[in-house]
Amino acid sequence: MRSLVLVGHGSHRSGDAAAPVYALAERLRALNAFDEVLEAFWKDDPSLRQVLRTAASTDVTVVPLFIAPGYFTDVVLPRELNLGHQGPVPPEGIARVMGARTVRYTRPFGTHPAMRDVILARVREVLPDLPAVPEVGAAPDVALVLVSVAGGDPHAHGLEAHAGQLRDTGLFREVRTVAAPEGEAPGGAWLEGLTAAQVVVVPFSASDAAHTRTALPARLGLPGPVTALPGGPTVQFTAAAGTHPDVAQVVLQVAADAHSGAREGDAERAHHAAWDALRTLVSGEARIGELLITPQHGVYEFRHALDQGTPGSELTTIVTTEGLRDHARTDDRGRHRPVRTFRTLPRGWRAVIHPAELRRALHDVYPAVTEEAYAHGCYTLRATPWPTTARRQTGSYARVQKAGPDVLARVTRDVCGQCLRTPLWAGEKLPRTFLEGVPGAMPCAEACTYLIAHVREELRPDAAGHVQ
C-alpha cells in the first residue's frame, strides 16, 4: 500500500493557487498508480503540518509540485514536514522513518529529465508539424526559448539541463534559456541572434498564475502570445510547461525514482482506527463542526447543520467529492476559506456521498480533523508550543519570533476565535472532541500558517525599519 502526497504553495487569499495541484491529483488518481493521492499546501488547507497524519499507508512519497529547486523545496517544505533536513535535496530524494511511516521526499518534478518530453509536447501544441526526429537533409527552422518565469539563474533552476537535452534532439536550430524580468521590459533583446523563422517560447513554470500567455509576452517586450516581427521570426508562446497533462507521468517517474524498488507499506494502524471510530460515529446522524452527516439508504448525506430540516429540493445537490471540496473552499459570499475549520462553511447545499468516498469527503470539508481528534483522545497528539513554531520560521516570517505575549494573545483571539479548533498550542484545554460526543470540539496542535501570517502582519517594520 502506498500514499502519494502532492505539495503546492497555495495562498491564504485565493483558492486559484491550489487549482493546478487539485487538477494534477485528480489525473493521478485516475491512473491508479497509488492507493491514494493527497494534496497539501504551505498556505492553504490541507496543511503541511497535518498531511502526513492523514496518509492511510506506512509508505508515503511526497513530491513538491514546484518547477525548480529553491527556498521552498529546500528549506520551507522539509522543515514544515518535520523531515530534519535543510538544503539541496539529492537526486534520489530523502527518506525518513517517522513513527510508523516511511516518508520519501523528492526533488521538485520540474528537475526530472522527463520534463524534456513535456516541453516537446508544449511545442507541438503550437507547431503540430514538428517532426518526431530531425528530417534528413532539411535543417530545422525553429528556435526554442525556455523562460524561467520566476526569473533568476536558469542554471540554478535546472533549466539549462533541459535545454541541453533539447539541443541533443536536433529538432531545433537554436535552444536558449531566458530569465523573465520582474516587470514589463521594452524591446526583445532576448531574441537577438536567433536566425530561425519560427521561435517557440515555453514558459517554465508550475502554473499559469503568471499569465504565461498574456502577461509574460509583455514582460518580454512583445505585444501578445503570437507576434510576427517585421523582417524577423514569428514568436509563439505556449502555456506553462508545468500545467501540461503529461506532468502526471513525470510525477510518477519522480516518485518511482525515490522509491527505487523498496518494499511497499501496510495500512497505518492508528489511521485506520481513527476512521473506524468515525464510521461508528456516522452510523447514526452525527454533527461534526458545522456539518451534519446522515446515513440514508446506503449513502451519506452531508449538509450544513443549520440546513437541518430544509427540504432537499431547496438545496443545491452535490454528487462528487471534488464538487464538495470546491464548495467548501469558499464561504457564502464566495470568499476563499484558507482555514477550513473557520465557522464559515457555506449553507444551501447537500452532498450525497458513497461510503467508499466518506473519508475523502470529510477530509475535503475538514482536513485531518478525524486523525487529530482520534490522536487527541489517545493522548498521542503532541501540541507544539508557539515559541517552537516561531523559532523555526525563516525569511520574512522570522520576525514573528519578536511577537510579545500581548500581540500573540490578540492575534490568537481574533484568528482562532473564528475557528472551530481549540488551540492546544496556546495552552487551551480540550477535554473531549467530536469523536467523543462534543460536536464542535476539534483540537489544534500547532499554529497554522494563517495565524503565523497574521502575527507577521502585526509586526510590520515601521518607516525606520523597527518592528513594534
Provide the grid cell at 420.
472551530
Q: At residue 55, what is the residue type?
A: A
Q: Is 411 in the site for ligand SF4 (CB under 6 A)?
A: no
Task: Decide: 238 and 125 in contact? Cβ < 8 Å.
Answer: yes
Q: State in angstroms the smallest separation of the CB of 400 from ligand SF4.
A: 13
Is there binding between residue 340 and ligand SF4 (CB under 6 A)? no
| Stretch of residues binding ligand SF4 (CB under 6 A), selected from 50-58, 227-235, 412-420, 433-441 | 412-420
* By CB under 6 A, residue 448 contacts ligand SF4: yes
Tell me how far the alpha carbon of residue 467 is from its chain's centroid: 31
What does the radius of gyration of the chain's CA atoms come to, in whole angstroms?
Answer: 24
Residue 338: name the closest of 208, 439, 451 by CA. 451
Q: By CB under 6 A, which span of 19-27, 195-203, 237-245, 413-421 interacts with ligand SF4?
A: 413-421
Cα four-point dihedral sign 283, 287, 290, 296: positive
Stretch that binds ligand SF4, among 132-140, 193-201, 321-329, 440-448 (CB under 6 A): 440-448
- Residue for grid cell 464559515: 344
Given 288, 318, 361, 416, the residue binding ligand SF4 (CB under 6 A):
416
Stretch that binds ligand SF4, among 155-163, 312-320, 373-381, 442-450 (CB under 6 A): 442-450
Cβ at position 342, least distance to ligand SF4 in Å: 7
Task: Assess contact for 332 and 347: CB atoms under 8 A.
Answer: yes
Size of the site for ligand SF4 (CB under 6 A): 12
- Report the sign of the C-alpha dihedral through residues 376, 382, 386, 391, in that order: negative
Q: Which of 302, 441, 450, 456 binds ligand SF4 (CB under 6 A)?
A: 450
Instruction: Give the interface segment with ligand SF4, choosing from 4-12, 28-36, 402-410, 417-425 (CB under 6 A).
Output: 417-425
The correct pick among 339, 358, 368, 455 for binding ligand SF4 (CB under 6 A) is 339
Cis previous bond, 46, omega within 30: yes
Does position 419 interact with ligand SF4 (CB under 6 A)? The reply is yes
To the nearest whole angstrom, how small is the minimum distance from the Cβ of residue 450 to ligand SF4?
A: 6
**292 or 430: whose CB is closer to ligand SF4?**
430
423 binds ligand SF4 (CB under 6 A): yes
Min dist. Cβ of residue 244 to ligand SF4 (A): 35
What residues contact 204, with CB distance under 8 A and at least 6 apart?
A: 67, 68, 110, 146, 147, 148, 149, 157, 159, 162, 240, 241, 242
The closest of 343, 394, 369, 365 to 445, measured between CA atoms, is 369
Closest to ligand SF4 by CB, 76 vs 451, is 451
Interface with ligand SF4 (CB under 6 A), residue from 177, 212, 341, 389: 341
**Rounded distance between C-alpha atoms, residue 156 and residue 169, angstroms:** 23
Query: Using the rule CB under 6 A, which residue among 115, 444, 453, 455 binds ligand SF4?
Result: 444
Residue closer to ligand SF4 by CB (options 49, 219) is 49
Instruction: Determine, following the binding rule CB under 6 A, whether residue 451 of this chain makes contact with ligand SF4.
Output: yes
Q: Does 381 bind ligand SF4 (CB under 6 A)?
A: no
* Residue type present at position 188: G
Q: How far is the CB of 419 from ligand SF4 (least distance, A)?
A: 3
CA distance 45 to 296: 29
Judged by CB under 6 A, the residue of 415, 435, 441, 453 near ligand SF4 is 415
Task: Assess 447 for contact with ligand SF4 (CB under 6 A).
Answer: yes
**Closer CB to ligand SF4, residue 198 or residue 341?**
341
Rule CB under 6 A: say whether 373 interacts with ligand SF4. Answer: no
Q: Out of 304, 325, 376, 421, point to the residue binding ligand SF4 (CB under 6 A).
A: 421
Q: Which is nearer to ligand SF4, 93 or 367 (CB)?
A: 367
Note whether 197 and 233 are within 8 A (CB): yes
CB of 424 to ligand SF4, least distance (A): 9
Residues that bind ligand SF4 (CB under 6 A): 339, 341, 415-416, 419, 421, 423, 444, 447-448, 450-451
